[in-house]
Amino acid sequence: MFGVVLCAGLAHAQKATPDRSLQKGLTALAEEWWKARPPSRFSDWDPGVRAGLEARARALGPIPEGALAQFTELLWASAKKHSAKPDVKKGKLTLATPYGEAWCYVSSATKSPPLIVGLHGGGAGAGSADEARSNWERKGCYGIYPQGIELVDDTWNTVHGERFVLSLIELAKLHFEVDPEHVYVGGMSMGGTGSWFFAGRHTDLFAGAAPFSGVVMASPRSQLATKEEVRAIQHGLVPNVRSLAMAYTIGLEDKNTMPGTYLYVAARLSELAKADPGGYAKIRFKTIPGLAHAFPPGEPKTALDYLFSEKRDTCPEKVVWEYTSDPSPQPGTSDKVTRIANPFFYWLGCAQPADKQMIRATREGNEITLEVQGRGTSGVTIFLNSGMIDPAKDVVVKLGDKELYRGQPKPDAWTVLETLDARLDRAMVFDRRIEL
């Protein structure tokens, strides 16, 4: 069974011994939970089944202080045992989807390796996982190189592309024992576009991203030569990468993925960094004069060397979360799935996040300060563990100067299960919550 290192300091928390009835109840619940959990992100929970299991988890009530690591290991072992095993043969993983069988190349590595997800380029009728594997394969790293389910423009940003990549990352974490603190996504061209999408929308899954020579969905269109032509970009991506390492380039003579949106984003990131000391500090973006649609010399190796030296900031002291409910492109008439919901972001949650809502949360010791735009705090949840706070002292939550909460949230079984289930990430698990 794995040793689990959660947010800073938790590994040193005092071990607790749960009573046998609690441990037995959680063990029985875990088996039923993982058997009922959908096998991939292509299907959603049966609402009635999930509600019943959630009620049982809530009924288990509090757990002892210091038992988070032990309970995480219990749940993780149960997930490995009772979840559907991936179908891997001769370096290919296949996955059943509503669109038919989808597949990716995989390359194995040593125990608990970093994970690189390499996304291929292409567009309508074009794109090959062979190209991605050639560009992004790295010795000592577990590699996943998916073949786009439908070869359409911006396939990785589609409803099926998003669900496919998220499914593969979960499988890698659960069954291939990759290190969740060292997960990276990279791509070139359409793969770069997709890499920026995942870096911004699912930032908390990654330690770094290398979105070379792509575009960011924009208005009036994404293919624009200059930043001055861009009126607006896809919301819900750029502000979120505050703590993420990124390394990528664009050629100023690129006609396939024109540089306008990347130049616009670079200016926006510079503005965000100036207004937020310490934020957006790990982003390395270069424009290459005279370069068309290609990697510059030495890339993507130089980018990966940098990114692989960076570890995920799992529980950052400041989180910026801008939400998008329906990112571009919208589902087509032939699509068999809808856009997946994403109600968790680092140590924040929101039961029904609103489009364009923005939450800034800053944690200093046991004091948490919120700034909220686009909605109130109703439905917002703050997830914590003893590595983030002093559990013997009150936690104070403020919205500006207004105090919203003061107290000592206690660890409970449901929070552990819910947050582990949210990402299948044994390093980003919490055992107490504050519901606003």
> For 311-318, what is the mean pLDDT?
98
> For 44-56, what is the mean pLDDT?
97
In Å, how far from its chain's centre is CA 241? 11
435 vs 2, which has greater pLDDT? 435
Q: Answer yes or no: is pLDDT of 192 > 90.
A: yes
pLDDT at 6: 57
pLDDT at 169: 98
Q: Answer yes or no: is pLDDT of 1 > 50.
A: no
DSSP E strands, 69-219: 87-89, 92-97, 100-107, 115-119, 142-146, 183-188, 208-212, 218-219
- Look-up: residue for tokens 């270069």? 286
The class level of CATH for 87-311 reads: alpha beta
Q: Answer yes or no: is pLDDT of 225 > 50.
A: yes
pLDDT at 66: 94
Do the Cβ atoms of 199 and 209 come closer than 8 Å? yes
Angle, CA 112 vertex, CA 108 and CA 116 arms, to 5°: 55
Burial bucket for residue 382 (CB in 10 Å: 0-12, 13-18, 19+): buried
Number of H helices, E strands in the chain: 9, 20
Mean pLDDT, the chain, whole residue set: 95
Query: From CA 397, how far away is CA 402, in angstroms rounded?
Result: 9
Record the tokens describing residue 18, joined without a space.
């749960």
Query: From CA 428, how far away is CA 412, in angstroms rounded?
Result: 16
pLDDT at 11: 44
* 233-286 pLDDT tens trace: 999 999 999 999 999 999 999 999 999 999 999 999 999 999 999 999 999 999
pLDDT at 3: 41
> For 24-53, what is the mean pLDDT?
96
> For 32-44, what is the mean pLDDT?
97
393-402: long-range contacts, CB 8 A cutoff, minimum separation 24: 393/366, 394/366, 395/366, 395/367, 395/368, 395/434, 396/366, 396/367, 396/368, 397/368, 397/369, 397/370, 397/434, 397/436, 398/367, 398/368, 398/369, 398/370, 399/369, 399/370, 399/371, 399/372, 400/369, 400/371
What is the radius of gyration, based on Cα positions, of the chain? 21
DSSP state of 87: E
> For 406-432, what is the mean pLDDT?
98
Do the Cβ atoms of 415 and 433 come closer than 8 Å? yes
pLDDT at 19: 80
Q: What is the DSSP string of 94-124?
A: EEEETTEEEEEEEE--SSS--EEEEE---BT
pLDDT at 12: 42
pLDDT at 20: 86
Query: From CA 52, how far away is CA 57, in angstroms rounded?
Result: 9
**Count of other CB atoms within 10 angstroms of residue 93:** 21
Angle, CA 91 vertex, CA 87 and CA 97 arms, to 5°: 40
pLDDT at 110: 80
> For 336-341, what is the mean pLDDT?
96
Query: From CA 235, how far away is CA 220, in angstroms rounded?
Result: 14
3-class state of residue 146 by DSSP: strand
Phi first, then psi: give them for residue 357, nearest 5 degrees.
-65, 145
Record the tokens describing residue 306, joined without a space.
């940098």
pLDDT at 111: 85
pLDDT at 8: 47
- Cα distances (angstroms) measured from residue 110 to each of 100, 142, 170, 171: 32, 8, 18, 17
Do the Cβ atoms of 189 and 121 come closer than 8 Å? yes
- Cα distances (angstroms) measured from residue 136 to each of 115, 150, 157, 384: 11, 21, 19, 35
Which residues of the chain does CATH 3.40.50.1820 include?
87-311
Closest CA to 159 of 11, 306, 347, 342: 342
pLDDT at 57: 97
Among 330-334, 349-353, 407-411, name the most confident range: 407-411
Query: From CA 389, how far away is CA 101, in angstroms rounded?
Result: 45
* 80-134 pLDDT tens trace: 999 989 999 999 999 999 999 999 999 988 889 999 999 999 999 999 999 999 9
* 72-81 pLDDT tens trace: 999 999 999 9
